[in-house]
């Protein structure tokens, strides 16, 4: 995997077309960050989702690879596009990036994509992530996204991967209780996956 300079014209072109297209003067990546688009009114959300689906179908694998070599905005956007279009051949790349957790926020997209793929392999990546980072209370990374993604896979596949983390003395509660603002696990990725599949 090559790492282009921020001045790489190839990278900048793909960013301009897929990461920075604006809706109401807000770049696509800002709508995807924290799933901010879910807070839009229905008209704006519908327009954004239509644009996202179109981009997910139009972008090439090579362009996605370029974005995954960039900074967090590019990686976040690429992961969402991969997830929306369910390009499962990116599973190992996204799983490895999630486990590495090198850049802020991009892990949100990796968790969404793995939830969309919704297989045992995806659950194993999420499980490995939670095993590693729930044991690091000082790391407030994407644990909420990972547990929600794992809960989604469990609900769809009839598995129970999340149970051991959510047991009364499990790693989730140990990590969550150590946070400044503890919050319960949420199934919000169920909604995101449903929106990704909603009628055009």
pLDDT at res. 8: 72
What Cα–Cα distance (Å) separates residue 146 from each residue in 55, 68, 141, 165, 168?
A: 25, 19, 10, 11, 18
Question: Tens of pLDDT along the chain (200 residues)?
Answer: 343 445 577 778 888 889 986 655 578 999 999 999 999 999 999 999 999 999 999 999 999 999 999 899 999 999 999 999 999 999 999 999 999 999 999 999 999 999 999 999 999 999 999 999 999 999 889 999 999 999 999 999 999 999 999 999 899 999 999 988 888 899 999 999 999 987 65
Half-sphere exposure of 138 (CA within 13 A, CB side): 0
pLDDT value for 181:
84
Enumerate domains of the chain plus CATH numbers: 9-197 (1.25.10)
Alpha carbons 119 and 151: distance in angstroms, whole number: 12
């Amino acid at each position: 995997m090559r790492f282009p300079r921020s001045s790489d014209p190839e990278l900048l072109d793909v960013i301009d077309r897929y990461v920075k297209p604006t809706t109401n003067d807000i770049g696509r990546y800002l709508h995807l960050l924290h799933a901010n688009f879910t807070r839009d009114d229905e008209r704006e959300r519908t327009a954004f989702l239509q644009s996202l689906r179109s981009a997910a179908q139009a972008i090439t694998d090579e362009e996605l690879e370029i974005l995954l070599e960039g900074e967090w905005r590019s990686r976040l956007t690429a992961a969402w596009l991969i997830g929306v279009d369910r390009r499962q051949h990116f599973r190992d790349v996204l799983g490895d990036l999630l486990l590495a957790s090198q850049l802020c926020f991009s892990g949100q997209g990796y968790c969404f994509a793995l939830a969309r793929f919704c297989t045992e392999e995806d659950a194993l990546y999420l499980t490995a992530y939670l095993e590693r980072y729930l044991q690091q209370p000082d790391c407030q990374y994407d644990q909420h996204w990972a547990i929600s993604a794992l809960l989604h896979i469990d609900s769809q596949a009839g598995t129970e991967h999340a149970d051991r983390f959510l047991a009364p003395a499990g790693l989730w509660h140990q990590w969550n209780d150590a946070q400044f603002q503890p919050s319960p696990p949420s199934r919000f990725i169920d909604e995101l996956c449903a929106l990704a599949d909603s009628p055009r």
